[in-house]
């Protein structure tokens, strides 16, 4: 037991710093650990940005859909081109209202895409009755 303590104390007294080999081994081990961690963080950041853009697109499409659901009369329209979004310049939208399965329902479709892309990013579709299905009972 005494021999180990004397060896360690002798080694600690004689050492003035780290050798180049020790520093290189330490950097190699650090790069083995840090490389995958940095890669993991970058991929998580990229997925976060994709999810944020998707959420922004859903909220934007819902902002177009909600006023249409509150209107009592909707006129069917054709499929025209995409229009630029009034407050988000990097998005374009298209709203399509078509009769659905008889005279009582309209199908409302909101399509949203980024300005420079050809494919549609998001499509929200819902049905709306053309008239109220219930009559409120006066109290």
d(CA 44, CA 59): 23
Instruction: Please name the fold of domain 13-129.
Output: 3.30.1300
Q: Which two tokens stand for residue 52?
A: 């944020």
Q: Are 92 and 82 in contact (CB under 8 A)?
A: yes
Q: In this predicted model, what pLDDT tens digit does every residue of 113-128 receive, in sequence order?
A: 888 888 778 888 888 8
87 C-beta neighbours (distance < 10 Å), count? 7
From residue 31, give the alpha-carbon distance in Å to each of 24, 37, 99, 132. 10, 10, 62, 66
Would the pLDDT of 8 be above 60?
no
- Structural domain boundaries of the chain? 13-129
Would the pLDDT of 5 be above 70?
no
């Amino acid at each position: 037991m005494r021999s180990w303590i004397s060896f360690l104390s002798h080694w600690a007294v004689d050492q003035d710093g780290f050798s180049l080999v020790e520093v290189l081994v330490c950097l190699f081990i650090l790069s083995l650990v840090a490389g995958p961690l940095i890669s993991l963080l970058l991929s998580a950041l990229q997925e976060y940005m994709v999810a944020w853009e998707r959420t922004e697109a859903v909220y934007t499409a819902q902002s177009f859909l909600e006023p249409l659901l509150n209107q009592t009369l909707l006129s069917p329209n054709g499929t025209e081109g995409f229009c630029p979004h009034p407050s988000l310049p990097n998005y374009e939208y298209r709203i399509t209202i078509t009769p659905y399965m008889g005279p009582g329902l309209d199908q409302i479709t909101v399509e949203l895409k980024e300005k420079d892309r050809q494919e549609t990013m998001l499509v929200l579709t819902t049905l709306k009755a053309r008239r109220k299905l219930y009559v409120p009972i006066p109290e």
